[in-house]
Structure 1
Amino acid sequence: MNQDLLETPSVERESTDTFTRPAINIDLSKMRSMTPIYQKLMSGFHITEANLTLWQELDQFNVEYEQLFKGLGYTLIKDARGYFYFSSPDTTVTMTKTSRRIALLVYTLIEHWADKGYDPIGALFDQPLNKDVCRQLYDKNINVFEQIDINSAADIQNEILKRMARLGFAKEQGKEHRLLPSCYRYIDAVMELSDAYKQDEQATFEDAE
């Protein structure tokens, strides 16, 4: 399973005895957004094109930023689907409360859009998440949401979606939210779990024969 999903939202620096000098020459004067980029990535934020200025600078100076952050003990990840984040070397066996809530929301949304006849992955990003959608999700999955202390459709909006917006997984637009490409981290994990489950089922069936 994608172990990076099992981190806390904030990122800790790797322990290094000595500073690692970047392998390339870096002109810091061209990296005008270095401070806000660093602050956001350190908080666990995922930078997407929704943060256009920061995203463009990271994209333009990707190698330079990789080397700079590596020298400071961080690993900058650029996902080809359009987002940047810090990968932490420290993972835990269980997902954080925030990660469990986001994972459950993504999973239930995939099922929700599939049941309505949409391409579920496309709809995940194309369809707005408003009060009505949250109500439908909660009513259909009330038992599992209550297990993570989400007790109403309003909680989905206030406790999950707003948190996702603060971490760069969603964008708030008035009273609605739209998911951002960084949610692929959770989609990948859901798909990996689904594949593992299918393999276990197949192995059980073969053993029974």
Structure 2
Amino acid sequence: MFTGIIETLGKVEKLEKEGGNLHLTVSSNITSELKIDQSVAHNGVCLTVVAIEGEQYTVTAIEETLNKTNLGELAVGDAINLERAMVLGARLDGHIVQGHVDQTAICSSISEQDGSWVFGFEYDSKLNNVTIEKGSITVDGVSLTVVDSKKDSFSVAIIPYTYEHTRFHTYKVGSTVNLEFDVVGKYVARLLELRS
């Protein structure tokens, strides 16, 4: 379980395909605190640390993960949002995040608004995921509040700290991001679907 509060940005150092899997080697300022078998969210995707060497560590994404997320689009040198699993009993500053990406979205708009930014995203509504205004959404692992909710799109407001300390400062219109919808909302939607 995660909170959606990004600890740090990592840098993709190496990408190695092996069958349907992709091994990602990442450098970060938290590598020395990691251990093998530990769960770390990468752009919101929960992956297991399989190797550590110096300031770099390696995780593996399987084919299903690559098909459902933006990890397969990463290139060497790209920044990646990192968060270690939450500690039981610690403050939950974001919201409950599982690290299981539901689908991707495309950045459809970026506007600066007097020192902050509003980012718009469009997603495929056929997958039955929904947002609600003032509800929670996770974008590339970042816990955010939905500002404007529509059937297949939403927007979020980003403060300067989040803009600078996450991948948000790298986004352009057309960038692909990972979405994890609010877990409570997903259960409610599923229960309503079963009743109809």
Compute the TM-score of the two structures, normalised by the length of structure 1.
0.34
Compute the TM-score of the two structures, normalised by the length of structure 2.
0.36
- Greater fraction strand: 2
Larger radius of gyration: 1
- Greater fraction helix: 1
